[in-house]
Chain A
Amino acid sequence: ETGVTQTPRHLVMGMTNKKSLKCEQHLGHNAMYWYKQSAKKPLELMFVYSLEERVENNSVPSRFSPECPNSSHLFLHLHTLQPEDSALYLCASSQDSGPYNEQFFGPGTRLTVL
């Protein structure tokens, strides 16, 4: 257990559905991240939040909408997704942002878009 939990662990949704992924960290960290992991592709950083403010948005389509209501919780709201969005979505947190910054990862949500 890394102290970062994600729910649900698996999600199957249609292209017209709206769903949300949830991440919670119990480590007292100030920064949280969303990554997308697709087969045979590098891990892609999607969003970074530091002290509940978005500091990085890596050209992610607007059908992905993050929300960070407090430093312990991070959501990824999904709507009108495409089949190519099927992937493992990983959440991570770190104490602070900066050059050395161990990120602790959750187990991920396996998303399948039909």
Chain B
Amino acid sequence: GEDVEQSLFLSVREGDSSVINCTYTDSSSTYLYWYKQEPGAGLQLLTYIFSNMDMKQDQRLTVLLNKKDKHLSLRIADTQTGDSAIYFCAENARYNTDKLIFGTGTRLQVFP
């Protein structure tokens, strides 16, 4: 079945790079997404990557996609305390592209 997995926690020092990893099972996914959830707020789309791309860069964010290994990562350069949040990886469901399958979320904590 469809499954998206992430590690639950990541802790980094301010100014360092953060790398959040995600593995997924559905090789037919068209798009893969990263959402951010700040405390007390809903999810906010950070970035996405089309399945025929290997990499996408958007300012401090770099998304890497390894389709062979079904591995997606989000790198945040120069991590700031304001980046502390939960980050969700998501993919389109195989038989229903309206449906997003989300991972459990990775809680990123940035300390000074």
Contacts and interface: CB of A to CB of B under 8 A. Distances in A.
A91 B42 CA distance: 8
Interface residues of B, number: 26
A101 to B, nearest CB: 7
User: Which of A92, A97, A105 has its CB near the most chain B CB atoms (within 10 A)?
Assistant: A105
Interface of B: 4, 8, 30-31, 35, 40-45, 48, 50, 88, 90, 92, 96-105
Contacts of B102: 42-43
Contact of A41 (B44, B99, B104): B104
Q: Mostly helix, strand, loop or mixed at chain A's interface?
A: loop
A103 interface: yes
A103 B4 contact: no
A57 B104 CA distance: 21
A74 interface: no
Contacts of A108: 41-42
Interface residues of A, number: 29
User: Which of B43, B104, B105 has its CB near the most chain A CB atoms (within 10 A)?
Assistant: B43
Interface stretch (A11-19, A48-56, A64-72, A79-87): A48-56
B99 A48 contact: yes
